[in-house]
Amino acid sequence: MRPRSFSGGLLLPSSSRSEPQPFEHVPFPETFFLPMKQHKGAGCRPLFKKDAAVQRGQILGQSSETAIQSPVSGHITEVNKGFRHLDGSITTCLTLAASEEAEQTTPAAQKAPVMDKILGSGVLDFGPAQPLMRKLIRAQERGVRTLIINSLDEFFVFGSRSALLVHHTSRAMEGIRLLQHMLQPETTYLAVYEQSLPLLDKDIPIPDSVRVVPLRAKHPQYKDPMLVSALTGQEYPMESSPLELGIASISLETASTLAAVVNHDEPNTHKPLTVLGPEPKEQNNVLVPLGSPIRHLLQHLGRESEDVAKVIVGGPLTGTALSSLDYPVTKEMDQIHFHRAKDQISYSSEVCVKCGYCVEVCPMRLMPFLLSGYSSTGFVDMAADNDIFSCIECGCCAYVCPVNIPLVQWIQVGKSRLSTNLRSEAV
């Protein structure tokens, strides 16, 4: 089958591997940091105070849509009410000291309805990270004709989602069947990069009701607007979601986690991550206990923290730089990149040379140089007239810009100023 694609974007770098690396288990650290907010939107309310003893899998924080479970048995040593989340907001963070029991056991699971299990284990979906329960309730209210299971990693052909697909196919299929049962779609697509198609385990049959569709390895194919358009030929306004078209797009990682918590009563305490170092061969797929400091993860991978100048959470073109290696691994992360000082890219203050490369690669058919220019000079209304809110911040434009203009950062500034203006007009 010919792989599907979209116009614009960037071809992904070819992988030196012929298949995704199996997951490596990162051991428990001695101390965990558990922010009560691990997705965009309101976080959870902490349920424990300092010195409280907790068990592995116990709910430490709860909201009406999600929860945070304890990754280990131990006790709370600190309740920090001033923890800064990646998005700049302030949340509460529990510090947890693991008990010394070599074997961390999990209390027997209680029989509970499926939605209660999803809520109690705080399963998230991605792009952007949001509680799965919220997404499922909206999908059930609106009705779903098409279910898309997204196994595409951001910017890498063989990252952690490909590893789940290729090395844990059975668990992924269980999750897909659960989603089909809950949403009753007429059609289910499993979106895979074309390189993964021949690697699917032939001994684990993919149900006939699931159509496996190969896609060209391009950035940002993993984003919903590109995925929906490549699979169904439909487009939707950026301010809405694929659900408006009767389409639910759910990550393969979410499907696998769903199978683990619903069918196997496992707590949601580990995170599949792709970790990338400065050299192309430094790529690891790891399963990390949630709440582990990034420093612990790097030490496990044999990297001294002095050697690391910057850690970026998210894809290489879209991620956010961390301010401290003590920041913990949270559910909303899917990739971590670390750079040495000599790998840093410096942005330039040079002016646009009107080469048009950014326009050529923009998958949303925007004029990035105009959006950035209007935002940086304060003409944000002109940026709005040129559809700045349709920008999905994929980073393709900045990647190809020959004079290194920080296009995405300026677009973000423009969006933020426009949103502030809209809010103050509404008051």
Number of residues that bind ligand SF4 (CB under 6 A): 28
Tell the smallest beta-carbon distance from residue 104 to ligand SF4 (Å): 43
Measured from the CB of residue 413, what is the shortest distance to ligand SF4 in angstroms?
A: 13
- For 120, the enclosing helix (H) or strand (E) is helix 114-121
In sequence order, the 6+-apart residues with CB closer than 8 A to the CB of 219 are 9, 10, 11, 12, 154, 155, 315, 317, 394, 395, 396
- Is 230 near ligand SF4 (CB under 6 A)? no
Nearer Cβ to ligand SF4, position 214 or 225? 225
| Cα torsion 377, 380, 383, 389: sign | positive
Please, which of residues 89-148 interact with ligand SF4 by CB under 6 A? none
71 touches 269 (CB < 8 A): yes
Q: Residue 121 or 318: which CB sits closer to ligand SF4?
A: 318
Using the minimum distance from each CB to ligand SF4, give the nearer residue, 283 or 375.
375
Site for ligand SF4 in 347-406 (CB under 6 A): 352-358, 361-362, 364, 366, 368-369, 391-397, 400-403, 405
- Check residue 74 and give left, alpha or beta (phi > 0: left; psi -120 to 50: alpha): left
Of 247 and 361, which has the nearer Cβ to ligand SF4? Answer: 361
Q: CB 347 → ligand SF4: shortest distance, Å?
A: 11
Q: What CA–CA distance (Å, rounded) separates 95 from 76?
A: 6
In whole angstroms, the minimum distance from the beta carbon of 60 to ligand SF4 comes to 37
What's the min distance (Å) between Cβ of 226 and ligand SF4? 10
Sign of the C-alpha dihedral computed for residues 364, 365, 369 and 372 taken in this order: negative
CB 396 to ligand SF4: min, Å: 4
User: Among 381, 171, 138, which residue's Cα sits nearest to residue 262?
Assistant: 171
First to last CA, the chain: 54
Residue placing its CB nearer to ligand SF4 in the complex, 124 or 362:
362
Residue 243 C-beta-side C-alpha neighbours within 13 Å:
15
Residue 166 vs 364, nearer CB to ligand SF4:
364
Q: Which of 147, 234, 271 is nearest to 135 (CA)?
A: 147
Q: Is 282 exposed, middle or buried (0-12, 13-18, 19+ CB in 10 A)?
A: middle
Residue among 90 and 353 whose Cβ is closer to ligand SF4: 353
SS3 340: coil
Question: Residues interacting with ligand SF4, by CB under 6 A?
Answer: 352-358, 361-362, 364, 366, 368-369, 391-397, 400-403, 405, 407-408, 411
